[in-house]
Amino acid sequence: MTPIEHVRQRAEKLRLYGLLAHWHELTDPAWVESLLTWEETERSRRSLELRLSSAHIGRFKPLADFDWKWPEQCDQTAISELMSLAFLTTAANAILVGPSGLGKTTIAQNIAHHAVLQGHTVLFTTAGKLLGDLTALDSDSALRRRLRHYVTPALLVIDEVGYLSYSNRHADLLFELINRRHEQKSTLITTNKSFSEWSEVFPNAACVVALIDRLVHNAEIVAIKGQSYRRKEAQERAEQNARKRKTKTRSPE
Instruction: Say what percent of the chain tops pLDDT 90.
Output: 65
**Cα distances (angstroms) measured from residue 125 to each of 73, 74, 92, 106:** 26, 23, 19, 13
State which residues form the domain around 105.
63-231
Same domain, 169 and 222: yes
Same domain, 220 and 121: yes
Average pLDDT over residues 156-165: 96
Quote the number of domains for the chain: 2
- Over the chain, what is the mean pLDDT? 91
| pLDDT (0 to 100) of residue 4 | 81
| pLDDT (0 to 100) of residue 139 | 94
Average pLDDT over residues 118-124: 97
Q: Of 95, 110, 84, 77, whose CA–CA distance to 223 is shortest?
A: 95
| pLDDT (0 to 100) of residue 252 | 58
**SS3 category, 98:** coil
Same domain, 10 and 113: no
| CATH number for position 110 | 3.40.50.300
Instruction: Decide which of 146 and 241 is more confident.
Output: 146
> Helices 168-181 and 140-151, interaxial angle, to 10°?
50
> What pTM, to 2 d.p., does this model score?
0.82
Q: pLDDT at residue 253 above 60?
A: no
Same domain, 68 and 34: no
Give the N- to C-terminal CA distance of the chain in Å, as an integer.
84
Q: pLDDT at residue 27 above 80?
A: no
- Which tens digits make up the pLDDT trace of 187-231? 999 999 999 999 999 998 999 999 999 999 999 999 999 988 767
Instruction: Decide which of 152 and 21 is more confident.
Output: 152
Same domain, 82 and 7: no
Pair 100, 192: CB distance under 8 Å: yes
Q: Which amino acid is at 57?
A: I
Please indicate, yes or no, if residue 57 is contained in any of the structural domains. no
Q: pLDDT at residue 36 above 90?
A: no
Instruction: Decide which of 29 and 165 is more confident.
Output: 165
- Which tens digits make up the pLDDT trace of 64-111? 999 888 888 999 999 999 999 999 999 999 999 999 989 999 999 999
Q: pLDDT at residue 245 above 60?
A: yes
Same domain, 22 and 71: no
Same domain, 223 and 145: yes
Please indicate, yes or no, if residue 72 is contained in any of the structural domains. yes
Q: Of 220, 248, 249, whose CA–CA distance to 90 is shortest?
A: 220
Same domain, 21 and 91: no
